[in-house]
Amino acid sequence: MKKEKASIPRLGIDIGRVLIAAEGADGADTAFIGGSLQDALDTPPYEGMFDAVAPLVERFEGRVWLVSKCGPSVQAKSRAWLRHHAFFERTGMAPDNLRFCLQRPQKADHCRQLHITHFIDDRTDVLRHLEGIVPHRYLFGPQRKPVTVEGLVLLPAWKDAAALVDRRVGA
């Protein structure tokens, strides 16, 4: 029996403050928004990200996409950062599995088109837009405020990702 496309597990991951560590004391992506290209390239990966993403790419059999909201300048810096840190080589993710949009609600359009079943993001407003589209939504990173969006699974750090996602993929 052939599985329906929507039932095949597919993972979406945000980039800023998820793959790439936040630079500012307030958690802002300052090196990408106001800094130079070199400032952006010097921004480190989020702690434990490479150790977690590569096994997730394997677990999802390569069905993993990066979906990020940003303008053209930050898109260029993000692409350069991914190349500089050999992201695709180190994770096994396909370089073509990269999507950008200009507004956060547009992430839902990408997820619908790609049949994403799991999504990791650091923003509750993005994950709220994915309700009814993406069954498994993970709120990444430490949260300063209580989470008021129902149906989100807290994912405080990359070290927790594999076990948490495996429980929901059916491992």
Q: Hey, what amino acid is at 134? A: V
Residue 26 forms part of a structural domain: no
Residue 166 has what pLDDT?
Answer: 65
Averaged over 80-109, what is the pLDDT? 97
Q: What is the pLDDT of residue 35?
A: 86
Residue 146 above 50 pLDDT? Answer: yes
- Per residue in 26-51, pLDDT (tens digit) is 555 657 888 899 999 999 999 999 99
What pLDDT score was predicted for residue 148? Answer: 86
pLDDT at 164: 72
Residue 30 inside a domain? The answer is no
Query: Which range marks the domain in which residue 159 is found?
Result: 5-21+45-71+91-169
Higher pLDDT, 117 or 34: 117
Residue 171 has pLDDT above 60, yes or no: no
| pTM beyond 0.75 | yes
Residue 139 within any structural domain of the chain:
yes
- Is residue 56 assigned to a domain? yes
In a domain, 33, yes or no: no
Residue 37 lies in a domain: no
Q: Does residue 84 surpass a pLDDT of 60?
A: yes
Task: Compute the average pLDDT of residues 92-117.
Answer: 97
Based on the structure, what is the number of domains in the chain?
Answer: 1
CATH classification of the domain holding 147:
3.40.50.1000
Is residue 128 domain-resident? yes
In a domain, 165, yes or no: yes
Q: Is the pLDDT of residue 6 over 60?
A: no
